[in-house]
Amino acid sequence: REGLGPIVMVLDMSGSMMGTPIQTAWALFVALGTQAARSGRKIAIIPFADNAAEPSVANNPAQVLQVVNKQYNIGYGTNFQEGLRRAEELLSCEKDNKRGFKNADVIFITDGIDYIDRTWAARYVASKKALGYRAYGIIVGSMKFPQEVRRVLDAITTLDGQGLAKLEWVEALGHQVIK
């Protein structure tokens, strides 16, 4: 059923995310992860900056907290393509459903601006369609995604002091993903 599958969270951990933005993003991960684990859903997190880490998987609330406490050596810059590529790589392995992430929802969280190559974006959209998953973007703060980034995401919202707000698509994020 749509909205009840695994979750792959692609989390920007670049230098600009330090402080309140990363705390907000981690709090969202803990909330989503705990809820997902309690309802029998898997959650993976893929931290990225210049590079992307291997996915860390949580199957229960205790593992969600273990993921938060891991150390990642991924740099301080921002490379959106690297984070999304790693999620795509995880999901492309799911043709054989080896890790249990078939039909996952990808949630891409960042505070920053980075650019995605137009050719890469077109290939990613085609791959996403072929693999049958959706990607949602959450901006921590008030920045806007460039057009090519918007092209690869199915829906975008902002997370600010008011919580999830300013939805840019018809269905509420909570109804589609967080149930």
Query: pTM for the full model?
Result: 0.84
**Which position has the higher pLDDT, 47 or 160?**
47
Q: What is the pLDDT of residues 9-38, one digit of tens each?
A: 999 999 888 888 888 888 888 888 888 888
**Range in 81-90, 107-116, 158-167 with the lowest mean pLDDT:** 158-167
3-state SS, one letter per residue, for 88-136: HHHHHHHHHCCCCCCCCEEEEEECCCCCCCHHHHHHHHHHHHHHCCEEE
> Taking residues 92-115, what's their average pLDDT?
78
| pLDDT reported for residue 167 | 44
Q: What is the pLDDT of residues 43-61, one digit of tens each?
A: 899 999 999 999 998 888 8
| pLDDT reported for residue 158 | 84
| pLDDT reported for residue 27 | 87
| pLDDT reported for residue 121 | 94
Going from the C-alpha of 78 to that of each of 70, 81, 133, 165, 171, the distances in angstroms are 20, 9, 24, 24, 29
Q: How confident is the model at residue 40 (pLDDT cuts 50, 70, 90)?
A: confident
Does the structure show a pLDDT above 80 at 71? no
Calculate the average pLDDT of the chain. Answer: 82
| pLDDT reported for residue 170 | 32
